[in-house]
Amino acid sequence: MRKLALAAALALVTLSVHAAPDARIAELAAQQKQPLLDSLSQLVGIESGSRDLEGLDKIASLIADKLRALGGQVELIEPGSPASPEVYRMEDTPEKIGKVVKATFKGTGTKKIMLIAHMDTVYQIGMLNKQPFRVEGDKAYGLGIADDKQGIAVILHTLAVLKALDFKEYGTLTVLINGDEEISSPGSRALITKLAAEHDAVLSHEGASVAEDKLSLATAGIASVTLKVQGKASHAGSAPERGVNAFYEMAHQVLQMRDLSDPATGLKMNWTIAQSGTNRNVIPASATAGADVRVNKVADYDRIEKQVNERVKKQLIPEAKVELKFERRRPPLESSPASLALARHAQTIYGELDRKLGADAQVAGGGTDAAFAGLATKAPVVERFGLQGFGAHSADAEYVLIDSIQPRLYLVTRMVMDISRGKVAAQ
């Protein structure tokens, strides 16, 4: 009994030691709270919509200056240039795309770690006036603050903590901030995938929810289906038989592709928009429809694309010209044993602060650059290392929780240090 009691006591001592936070890192993280808020004020103060090249250039320059001041070797990469030649053009891809900020920090170790976030927002020029940066209680408000300017700030001030610690035990620490995430990353996706495959871990800094502080190991992929039908106009009253009704053919196509969702695999395809005709008394010569597609596995893209291309061949009106385009806008982030192990390690670190951090393989939402990072690597890729926030894509209620600043800086700092030192166990 005495041996069992002693073993239990030793276990409790071990647990208490393990659960104690690193006082120096906690202190430095706390010291960065106000500087991080100051950075957020600067970042939010620059409008940077995905199509606002002037604003994107301005914020990229600010971020680049801050990264240089922290000791990084900084590049401003133009999508379509030799440094990033591949541009995936979709129907809504602008001719020119915002630059990518890449910073490299060289250390004394061997591990390669990548930190990513994005600087663009969904907002239009002039909307900042409705929601300038402000602090109210435990909330910091501002346009784009939660999605994703807080992510940039967390990375910058994690680097500041590491610099204060003079920590350089990583081999390479790469920071990548892109300006096209909100338009499905057409100019940066190939670069993200390529660089992620060269690193031992990728930490992505989209924000966590105020409702549930949780990391994401899996997210849904997003695709779109665009259907275009060309018919022939004619008078609907006196000569409808001379026309080719594009509306009828479009409706037929939509109805015959209404049952392609597969709840068992999480595949979803839903027709959401349609347009046809110009006048009530004219047989419509054209019609269009669009569908939203979500998948949980990359392989499901092949399956659904094959299905829609087969079904579209079955026409109601042979004379109509039917075109279908399937766009893979963003792949899913698929969970892996390595990602789960990294997330479990993050939970242990958060536990040192007496805070709970969710982490599981349940598919959450969609639309994350972490998915591009995970495409060509077996290394861990984990999303939502950013601050807790609310109101992304909202014109009047977007905020982050100030009380999440110190814990997140502590977490990301420790993650970089522990990955560098090989302390993240393989699953």
Whether residue 126 sits in one domain with residue 159: yes
- Tokens 């990728």 locate to 202
| Last residue within a domain, chosen from 312, 330, 348 | 330
Dist. CA 51–CA 46, nearest whole Å: 14
- The per-residue pLDDT for range 154-198, each reduced to its tens digit, is 999 999 999 999 999 999 999 999 999 999 999 999 999 999 999
Whole-structure pTM over 0.85, yes or no? yes
From 52, 120, 148, 213, the catalytic residue: 120
Q: How many residues does the chain have?
A: 427
CA 89 to chain centre: 18
Domain count, the chain: 2
CB 215 within 8 A of CB 382: yes
Q: What percent of the chain has pLDDT over 90?
A: 90
**Same-domain pairing of 400 and 309:** no
Indicate whether 82 belongs to any domain. yes
Q: Is position 393 within any domain?
A: yes
Give the residue ranges of DSSP H helices in 184-297: 189-196, 246-256
427 falls within a domain: no
What pLDDT, on the 0 to 100 scale, is given for residue 365?
A: 67
Among the listed residues 407, 365, 369, 364, the one whose alpha carbon sits nearest the alpha carbon of residue 386: 407
Q: What is the pLDDT of residue 16?
A: 41
Per-residue model confidence as pLDDT tens digits over 329-376? 999 999 999 999 999 999 999 999 999 999 988 887 667 999 999 999
Of 47, 148, 180, 181, catalytic = 181
Which residue, chain included where needed, has tokens 């009047």? 396
Tell me: do 326 and 364 sit in the same domain. Answer: no
pLDDT of residue 426: 55
Query: In the numeric block, which tokens belong to residue 328?
Result: 């893979």
Judge if 342 and 398 occupy the same domain: yes
Q: Based on the domain organization, do 147 and 51 belong to the same domain?
A: yes
200, 259: one domain: no
Residue 426 within a domain = no
364 and 401 inside one domain: yes
Structural domain of residue 285, as residue ranges? Answer: 222-330
Asked, for residue 425, whether it belongs to a domain, the answer is: no
120 carries an active-site annotation:
yes
Domain assignment of residue 85, yes or no: yes
Tokens representing residue 266 in the block: 């999480």
Task: List strand residue ranges (DSSP E) for 144-303, in order.
Answer: 172-178, 201-204, 208-209, 214-216, 221-230, 234-235, 268-276, 282-283, 286-295
User: Looking at 287, 315, 330, which one is the last position of a domain?
Assistant: 330
Report whether 332 contacts 363 (CB < 8 A): yes
- Domain membership of residue 296 (yes or no) is yes
Instruction: State the pLDDT at residue 417.
Output: 98
Q: Are residues 170 and 305 in the same domain?
A: no
Cα–Cα dist 384/241, whole Å: 58
What amino acid is encoded at 16 in this protein? S
Whether 295 maps to a domain, the answer reads: yes
Say whether 262 is catalytic: no
Please say which residue of 297, 330, 363 terminates a domain: 330
| pLDDT tens, residue order, the chain (427 aa) | 443 443 444 343 334 445 699 999 999 999 999 999 999 999 999 999 999 999 999 999 999 999 999 999 999 999 999 989 999 999 999 999 999 999 999 999 999 999 999 999 999 999 998 889 999 999 999 999 999 999 999 999 999 999 999 999 999 999 999 999 999 999 999 999 999 999 999 999 999 999 999 999 999 999 999 999 999 999 999 999 999 999 999 999 999 999 999 999 999 999 999 999 999 999 999 999 999 999 999 999 999 999 999 999 999 999 999 999 999 999 999 999 999 999 999 999 999 999 999 998 888 766 799 999 999 999 999 999 999 999 998 877 999 999 999 999 999 999 999 999 999 975 4
Tell me: do 204 and 111 sit in the same domain: yes
Contact 173, 67 (CB under 8 A): no
What CATH number is given to the structural domain containing 405? Answer: 3.40.630.10
Average pLDDT, the chain: 94
30 and 107 inside one domain: yes
Please tell me whether residues 148 and 276 are part of one structural domain: no
Q: Are residues 116 and 138 in the same domain?
A: yes
Which residues pair with residue 175 across a beta bridge?
103, 115
CATH value at residue 258? 3.30.70.360
